[in-house]
Structure 1
């Protein structure tokens, strides 16, 4: 997945389109991800099941994660 700033996107839309042909392009605004540019094929592939795009991009609640306990020992430095 490639990334470009909003300024780069505005200056060279053709480069963004070429990059989107290779995979999703994250467009950042002030350093933070703001948009994703997809080819129409990628977009259609995401919607193949008929599910809503937002639902397909969201994480489900069915994650089963087990965390191992962590032991932290703190020592007071000697003066």
Structure 2
């Protein structure tokens, strides 16, 4: 499992059931307090795709479920 996948799952574990996270939250976690979180977004997108393919997470935007990552999205546990 990648560091980005770990970051996504750790953030989701801290949230209430049904809550979502923004992918940028995972990127910020990877980058640390002094890091460039935008540079981590590619890794977060790849990790999101991998976790989605495994059925570990689900995606949505403005409450509507998404089948694949496209444009803005939120991440939730399945």
Higher percent of residues as helix: 2
Same fold by TM-score greater than 0.5: no
Q: Which structure carries more relative contact order (alpha carbon 8 Å, separation 6+)?
A: 2
Which TM-score applies when normalising by structure 1?
0.26
Mark the structure with the bigger radius of gyration: 1
